[in-house]
Structure 1
Amino acid sequence: MLDEADRNAGHDDTPDSTASAVGGIAADRLRSIIERVERLEEERKALASDIKDIFAEAKSAGFDVKVIRQIIRIRKQEPADVEEQETLLDIYRRALGM
């Protein structure tokens, strides 16, 4: 069984230790993870702003933004799924006399 000296061997408990742990949590690792997520959230915010600008550009060029969004959503789907949805949509329209 390890005594106190063996358990603490190689551990630096000073506040400015790069491997400091508080309550069993590696504080530097936690800080790094949080900062990385924060940076990515900022990038996502910037990308969302860029996308909004592109849709504004499309609208000012006379394109229907709602239809563009629909096309983007369709392009993300598998072709077989798109075909099935279009077939069902056609069947439902005919059933309703549209």
Structure 2
Amino acid sequence: MSDAAAGFAKEQLKSFIERVERLEEEKKTIADDIKDVFAEAKGTGFDTKALRAIIRRRKADPGQLAEHEAIVDLYAQALGMIPFERTPLGQTMEG
């Protein structure tokens, strides 16, 4: 590799590293901001676990979410935690 090519590769590598470092710092700043929002929500009386669950649900694929919730309901019904009539399948069979 020529000196010019090696110098270019070195600068390109340095540029990649510096960009990742800047992005990592931005990621840390954003994570801190999110933490602050949750602390503010908690301070006003909101349950942060519930907020996180809602955020996860909103990100999820609707089909996969429905399938997951149906499985959870099935397991809960099998354990006697909820009556069959209150599950989506039970409600479908009633209607």
The verdict on a shared fold, with TM-score over 0.5 as the criterion, is yes
Tell me the number of residue pairs that the alignment of Structure 1 and Structure 2 aligns. 81
Scaled by the length of structure 2, the TM-score of the pair is 0.77
Q: CA deviation at 1:86?
A: 1.1
Instruction: Give the unaligned 5+ runs of structure 1.
Output: 1-6, 14-18
CA distance in 2, matches of 1:87, 1:33: 45
Q: Distance in 2 between matches of 1:91 and 1:29?
A: 55
| Alignment match, 1:57 | 40
Q: Percent identity?
A: 57
Structure whose alpha-carbon radius of gyration is higher: 1
Of structures 1 and 2, the one with the larger relative CO (CA 8 A, separation 6+) is 2
Cα deviation 1:26-72 (Å, max 9, x = unaligned): 11101111000000000001000000000001101111111111111
- Once the two structures are TM-superposed, the CA of residue 20 in structure 1 deviates from its matched residue by 6.0
For residues 29 and 86 of structure 1, the distance between their equivalents in structure 2, rounded to whole angstroms, comes to: 48
Q: Residue 21 of structure 1 aligns to which amino acid in structure 2?
A: A
Two-structure CA RMSD over aligned residues (Å): 2.0
Cα distance in 2 for residues equivalent to 1:20 and 1:38: 24
Q: Which 5+ residue runs of structure 2 have no aligned equivalent?
A: 82-95
* Bigger fraction of residues in strand: 1
